[in-house]
Structure 1
Amino acid sequence: MISKNLVINSIEELINWVASKEIKIQLDSAASILVQVFSSNCDPEWMLAIESNLRPMMPQAVIAGTTTMGEIAKGKLFIHTTVVAITFFDKARIQGFLRHKDKKEVDLGIAFAQKIETDCQQIAGTMLYATPNTMNVSLFLEGFSTARKGTYPVFGGGAGDYHVVQKPVIMLNGEYTSTGVLAVVFMSDDIQIDVRTYLGWQALSKEMVITESDGLWIKKIDDQPAFDVLNRYLDIQNDDEFFYNVLVFPFLFKRDGINYAMTPIEVNDEKAIKVIMNINEGESVCIGYGNPAIIIEKANDIQNWVRAFNSEAIFLYSCICRRFLLQGEVDLETIPFETIAPTAGFYTYGEIVSQGSQVMFLNATMLAVSMKEGCGKKPKLEAQIEISKTDPRDPFTSQHTRIITRLVNFIKVVTQELEEANEEARRLAEQDYLTKTNNRMKAHEFIKNEIERSKRYELEFSIIMLDMDFFKKVNDTYGHNIGDEILIYLVKLLKLEIRKIDMLSRWGGEEFLIVMPLTDKEGARITAERIRAVVELSLFPNAIKQTCSFGVASYQKGESIEMLIDRADKALYEAKLKGRNCVVTK
């Protein structure tokens, strides 16, 4: 396998290059040829001109193209150019497929996978280019994953355009579309394809929940309009600059053990936010930001892996937000690949990668694809590459990543401290200071939730109200400190006698409330009687004997919280009238 890459601005440059002796030698000996065109020019006529001029010189080649948000050649970023990457295979066969979106995305994915696996044998890998601005690529890949039978690697990227005006173009062998998918299938027992991906983004905000969504549109986060959440955190406006301002602040979430980052791309009149992959209701998200130090570190790890693979060609598919984040230092992530093997690719509008049988549509990632035939080239002898982030001759250059890394770490620590403080505040707000059990407010919330569960699933639950008998006498005789010790000891006894699903709270003074889910009145009565006996037989601090009175009530359909508690309270009052140290049910 031989790979050659050229940056062009004119057809004449391309023709002269392909006509050179170096390229002609490879044309004569190659079993198959793949030409990839990565272009900033969204006019399809430009790609068609490239294809038509190349076709007479390489009639059997598969020529695939995509518009980009930045081009990569020789490991470097190029802008407003076209990169032509030609790969000459010694043995491998390749075949291209292009489908316009003529049906629902899931059905299109199923049909596409079936077509590929019917027409192709000995599949070693499949490259996909899609148009995420004009179709739901995640749904397409859902269907594609369902239908494909092999576990060969699948990789690629989403076509984009510099001005985000939703005019992406993909082209295959002289045919193009702005709404569809193309595939290039690699077939051989001799070719090996290795795919590596990494993220490098970390959480900035607290964790939030998607409370309403519709396909690619996130409508509400924590029951607030999605855009209002972004506006509050980032002071981002819904204007022509929205995409550029939010580009490096994707939503981070985890699904099936995989970390995802999804960058918002659009806001509608209802303040819903569009992303390129479905995020479902109930999933937790947070706003993220890239950490340059982690990105460069991960790049170094991947480069060393690629080096050990003995790659003969490397293709990079990197999300546009990485370019936007790293700015002038973006080449730090990509240049070292060129020292391993010829490297080309583009900055994408989403990245396509497989993991086992599942093919995913990612965002904010870097995808490094290594190819070789046979054993590949001999590894170079130089040491593993460590990326230098500064020029020792000028300590003031290339400091962007240092500054951003420290700012991100600062925000991370502050966010963690605030979350810990908020958690402690929530705990204190719900906890009784003396006994360290739940307080009345928490009990009220718990009962409310149990009533909702009872309404929805017709489940029973009961409550037990208990009060220490003659407790005022204890305080008057022994003092309030001993009285407090007795209350603390009572809570320890109660916790030993109730289940983990039950909720104990201090209702007030020497009065306590137990909420028992999935328990009828008789079950609650038996529990209350057992607790009554334990209390009566126990020796409290200062060798004091103590008893309690109990009122039991089970929730009745249609009752309010107040009505249920009132019944338990009346039952407790009756227990007091009967002489105390007894259980009464209502």
Structure 2
Amino acid sequence: MKIYTYRFVSHEDFALFIALKELNLAPNIFVMCYSGIDDQAINQEILSSIKTLLPQASIMGSTTDGEIFETEVMVHSFVLSLTTFESTNLQIELFPCDQDSFRSGQMIANEGVKLGAKVAIIVADGIVTNGDYLMDGVNSIAPSLVVAGGLAGDNGRYEESFIFCDTQIHSKSIVVGYLISDTLEVYHTKSFNWAPMGPKFKVTRADKNCIYTVDDISVLELYRKYLGSALAQKLPLGGIEFPFVFYKEGHLIGRAPIRLNNDGSVVFAGNINEGEIIQFGFGDIDAILSDAREIISDLAEFGPEKVMIFSCMTRKNFLGEDAHNDFEGLASIAPTTGFFTYGEFFHDSDHKCNFLLNETMTVLGLKEASAVSKANMQQKKNLPHKKISRHHRYSETFDALLHIGRQTALELGALNSTLNTKVEEAVKRYQASEELIIIQARSAIIGEMLSMIAHQWRQPLSIIGMVINKIRLSTMSNPTKDEALITDIDVVDRNVSYLSNTIEDFKNFFKPEVKKEWHTASKICEQLRSLADPILKMYKIELEITLNDDKQFFIYGSELVQVLLSIVSNAKDAIFEQQKENGKISIVCEYKPLKSIYRFTISDNGGSIAADMIKVMFEPYVSSKGITGTGLGLYMAKTIIEKHFRGTISGKNIEGGACIIIDFPITTKEPLLLLEPKLLA
């Protein structure tokens, strides 16, 4: 591979250059053109001159926002890189890009696959091409294809850029140079080094590269809020130093603002998706140039024969007079040319994908030989390490301020995360409280309804009772007593009493209590049994209640029954879900004199509770029943025990099942009547 660089002056001067280098004898020549000339007639004349003097040349290129010629930043010039390959084939193709950039990317990739290309040097119209979609299209077909190049420029006007293919000049097009070789070695690297700073934001409304709102405020307002009115008024130019940055596949990507729209939206040099988490980037010239020096060192070790640079025009504008220091040392390694782009393409060999970058310098190193000559190796060993002067007296101050900003952002992020968690918990509890109020209101309504039902039932039940007593008296006075009839009368009488007591129990259960009353565990459990027994018997589940004392406590009785009933209901569901035969729920009631607390222990044989559920089982909206559970039963039980009883409720697993323990303090001074443990029938 032989490389020659030339800045076009005239037809005659170029003819002399060709003769001096004997380029007319070369069988194939790859000519890469970078033009900062706005007059396309002049560009056309130069392209025709190249083809006339080098008819065997394959030509591609574009208009630019500045040209790179060895160690210099050029403007309004026409720079050529002429390459003759020994073992690499070149194929140049033209593609449209006026409609679907993703589809154009797929077409480029398909052609690369067909040719077996190792590298695709892509130069695309910088006004109409969506570079992100173009790379997405390439990645969808050939993610391993190394893509280099960038978006053509028009000296910062953003009106119309042009592509060169052979002697033709095109707009709304893409030109691709495919390098096909088994021996070609490639080194592709980049330098960005803008540092993320400040808080993180979320893009809340965006369309491709047009951003409308970030954290639900306009981009202009965001810049004004965090970076001040003076800088915001200078947008888009003011945004070069402080672009938006975000991470993609482990790479920090920059997006610089390039245009303000009348509707308040801002156009950036690349896509930023809705929902993307972004920060402001901070550019320090010393840090950026330091990163570039590392690239020079790494590239020297690779030993390229040709270097191509595609660097962002916003990077050039930000670096100003230091722009040439970004790449100056590369020319000491190999012939170097390139241009300043409206967006540069980069290949990540680790993740096997291609990106559109901004504010970045990308460097493509190429060589055909597997080993460099000793002379070249010696040259690399003796490369001068030019020390770039630090123009900023306050660079260390900038570093310190940046560190403060990062640390503050981290601390604020942690605080914000904690506050968000607390707010979410508070909202959840508030919603649960609202639902509890609704449940309590419904309970009060049900209590009133049951009172009316009880009133309506009592009269017919009383009549039935009177008729039964009349039949009983008539039967008893009959000399020949019908014992079977008397037995049936007793059964009917018991069921009438049962109906009357049951409706009374339900009425009392749902009646809101306005005051505490004296209760015993025996009284509480009797009411519980009357409510729970019918459903438990239907599921063939035994309810065993053990009373260890007859201690009195001053409480809201129906609320304790409600808590116990909720726990018993959960136990019943667990036993039924396990399809457990001989299901059993046990309740042990006992006074703990050392702690002056009363304890209800409810256990079952319905299997254990999942370990992750035990920790949160008393939180609102936590249920193991899927869509059939509200997740409020145990939370309501916890709320009642803690707030109305000043007690505690906890759960644990036992052998074959689970256990819920309720403790609440009692301060009465009545003597404790100890009883022999007995079962409540």
| TM-score of the superposed pair, with normalisation by structure 2 | 0.62
Question: Could you tell me which residue of structure 2 aligns to residue 373 of structure 1?
Answer: 368
Question: Could you tell me which residue of structure 1 aligns to residue 398 of structure 2?
Answer: 408
Question: Could you tell me which residue of structure 2 aligns to residue 506 of structure 1?
Answer: none
- Structure 1 residue 352: deviation in Å? 0.6
Map of 1:450-465 to 2, 5 A cutoff? none
Q: Distance in 2 between matches of 1:85 and 1:232?
A: 47
- Structure 1 residue 287: deviation in Å? 0.7
Q: What's the secondary structure of 1:18's corresponding residue?
A: helix
Question: Could you tell me which residue of structure 2 aligns to residue 42 of structure 1?
Answer: 38
Q: Distance in 1 between matches of 2:6 and 2:599?
A: 88
Task: Kindly indicate whether the alpha-carbon contact (under 8 Å) linking 2:98 and 2:129 is maintained by their aligned counterparts in 1.
Answer: no
- Structure 1 residue 182: deviation in Å? 1.0
Task: Kindly indicate whether the alpha-carbon contact (under 8 Å) linking 1:520 and 1:554 is maintained by their aligned counterparts in 2.
Answer: no
Q: Which of residues 143, 168, 172 is equivalent to 1:179?
A: 172
- AA matched with 1:197: K
Q: Cα RMSD (Å) of the superposition?
A: 4.1
Question: Could you tell me which residue of structure 2 aligns to residue 270 of structure 1?
Answer: 263
- Say yes or no: does 1:399 pair with 2:377: no
Map of 1:163-562 to 2, 5 A cutoff? 163-235=156-228, 242-356=235-349, 357-374=352-369, 375-376=371-372, 378-379=376-377, 380=379, 382-390=381-389, 399-400=391-392, 402-403=393-394, 405-420=395-410, 422=412, 426=416, 443-447=425-429, 522=570
- AA matched with 1:273: V
Q: What is the aligned length?
A: 480
- Say yes or no: does 1:27 pair with 2:107: no
User: Cα 1:31–1:304, aligned 2, differ >3 Å: closer, same or farther?
Assistant: farther
Task: Kindly indicate whether the alpha-carbon contact (under 8 Å) linking 2:37 and 2:63 is maintained by their aligned counterparts in 1.
Answer: yes
- AA matched with 1:2: K
- Structure 1 residue 446: deviation in Å? 4.7
User: 101-110 or 340-349: which moved more?
Assistant: 101-110
- AA matched with 1:90: E
Task: Kindly indicate whether the alpha-carbon contact (under 8 Å) linking 1:220 and 1:272 is maintained by their aligned counterparts in 2.
Answer: yes
- AA matched with 1:33: I
User: Cα 1:553–1:192, aligned 2, differ >3 Å: closer, same or farther?
Assistant: closer
Task: Kindly indicate whether the alpha-carbon contact (under 8 Å) linking 2:224 and 2:232 is maintained by their aligned counterparts in 1.
Answer: no
Q: Which of residues 134, 141, 151 is equivalent to 1:158?
A: 151
Q: Distance in 1 between matches of 2:569 and 2:213?
A: 41
- Say yes or no: does 1:134 pair with 2:116: no
- Structure 1 residue 193: deviation in Å? 2.4
Question: Could you tell me which residue of structure 1 aligns to residue 140 of structure 2?
Answer: 146
- Structure 1 residue 191: deviation in Å? 2.6
Task: Kindly indicate whether the alpha-carbon contact (under 8 Å) linking 2:642 and 2:648 is maintained by their aligned counterparts in 1.
Answer: no
User: Cα 1:125–1:306, aligned 2, differ >3 Å: closer, same or farther?
Assistant: same
Determine which structure has greater relative contact order: mean sequence separation of CA pairs < 8 Å that are 6+ residues apart, divided by chain length: 1
User: Cα 1:130–1:583, aligned 2, differ >3 Å: closer, same or farther?
Assistant: farther
Question: Could you tell me which residue of structure 2 aligns to residue 59 of structure 1?
Answer: 55
- AA matched with 2:52: P
- Structure 1 residue 338: deviation in Å? 0.9
User: Cα 1:15–1:292, aligned 2, differ >3 Å: closer, same or farther?
Assistant: same
Question: Could you tell me which residue of structure 2 aligns to residue 110 of structure 1?
Answer: 106
Task: Kindly indicate whether the alpha-carbon contact (under 8 Å) linking 1:251 and 1:287 is maintained by their aligned counterparts in 2.
Answer: yes
- AA matched with 1:128: I
Task: Kindly indicate whether the alpha-carbon contact (under 8 Å) linking 1:15 and 1:53 is maintained by their aligned counterparts in 2.
Answer: no
Deviations 1:419-462 (Å, cap 9, x if unpaired)?
Answer: 355357658868xxxxxxx87x56314547999xxxxxxxxxxx
- AA matched with 1:141: M
User: Cα 1:216–1:546, aligned 2, differ >3 Å: closer, same or farther?
Assistant: farther
- Structure 1 residue 384: deviation in Å? 4.9
- AA matched with 1:369: L
Q: What's the secondary structure of 2:22's corresponding residue?
A: helix
- Say yes or no: does 1:2 pair with 2:82: no
User: Cα 1:315–1:578, aligned 2, differ >3 Å: closer, same or farther?
Assistant: closer
- Structure 1 residue 187: deviation in Å? 1.9
- Structure 1 residue 166: deviation in Å? 2.5
Deviations 1:320-373 (Å, cap 9, x if unpaired)?
Answer: 222222221222221111111111111111111222442211111111111222
User: Cα 1:423–1:38, aligned 2, differ >3 Å: closer, same or farther?
Assistant: closer
- AA matched with 2:360: T
Q: Distance in 2 between matches of 1:88 and 1:50?
A: 20
Task: Kindly indicate whether the alpha-carbon contact (under 8 Å) linking 1:314 and 1:370 is maintained by their aligned counterparts in 2.
Answer: yes
User: Cα 1:569–1:265, aligned 2, differ >3 Å: closer, same or farther?
Assistant: same
Larger Rg computed on CA atoms:
2
Q: Which runs of 5+ in 1 are unaligned?
A: 391-397, 431-437, 452-518, 527-532
Q: Distance in 2 between matches of 1:293 and 1:520?
A: 71
Q: Distance in 1 between matches of 2:83 and 2:568?
A: 74
- Say yes or no: does 1:582 pair with 2:680: no
Q: Which runs of 5+ in 2 are unaligned?
A: 434-566, 575-587, 602-616, 651-660, 665-681
Deviations 1:13-69 (Å, cap 9, x if unpaired)?
Answer: x541333365551330x3421112211123332222111111111112111121112
- AA matched with 2:79: V
Deviations 1:183-241 (Å, cap 9, x if unpaired)?
Answer: 01112223322211121110132111112222222222112222321232334689996
